Amino acid sequence: MLPTPQKFMLTAGTGEGKTSLTAFDAALFDAGVGNLNLVRVSSILPPKTHFYEKIEISPGSLVPTAYGSITSKNPGEIISVAVAVGIPEIDTYGVIMEYSGKFSQEEIEKRIRNMVVEAFKMRDLPLKEIKVCAVEHKVICCGSAFAGVVLWY
């Protein structure tokens, strides 16, 4: 059985590269997670998980992360990505949402907040707080944007 993470942080970054993969790598590096092995997870924040502004993790670690990303090769295009964490009023699990698209940062933040509210209504959970991390990028050549909720032990 795998251990359950007890910490989480939100992060986001953007980058440019000659290829989609190197642009994505640059966005990961900008977000501070470029030297980690992200293991993509879905959308549940474990119970009793505490928020940290920054978590120190050794390079090469396998890190559970809920994330969204977007890459574009259209110079001048605006791309954005956001993650949000809904924290319940009661002592139970929370919900994580990820979203990306060709929107302004303001628009994507609005959309992702609405997604968290809907997810809590579906689960009949009382919502205490929403934490959002979003980023917008104007593509120069080949650009990428990344946002993630890093879970740790």
Each residue's pLDDT tens digit, 2-34: 899 999 999 999 999 999 999 999 999 999 999
User: Are 150 and 28 contacting, i.e. CB atoms less than 8 angstroms apart?
Assistant: no
| Residue 1 belongs to some domain of the structure | no
Among residues 16, 20, 43, 114, which one is catalytic? Answer: 43
* pTM for the whole structure: 0.96
Over range 119-143, report the average pLDDT.
98
Q: Let me know if 42 is a catalytic residue.
A: yes
Total domains in the chain come to: 1
Among residues 69, 98, 100, 109, which one is catalytic? Answer: 98
| Residue 53 belongs to some domain of the structure | yes
| Residue 58 belongs to some domain of the structure | yes
Q: Is the pLDDT of residue 1 over 90?
A: no
CATH code, domain carrying 136 = 3.50.20.10
Q: What is the DSSP string of 62-93?
A: EEEEEEEEEEE--TT-EEEEEEEEEEESSSS-
Among residues 42, 53, 56, 58, which one is catalytic? Answer: 42
Among residues 35, 37, 61, 104, which one is catalytic? Answer: 37
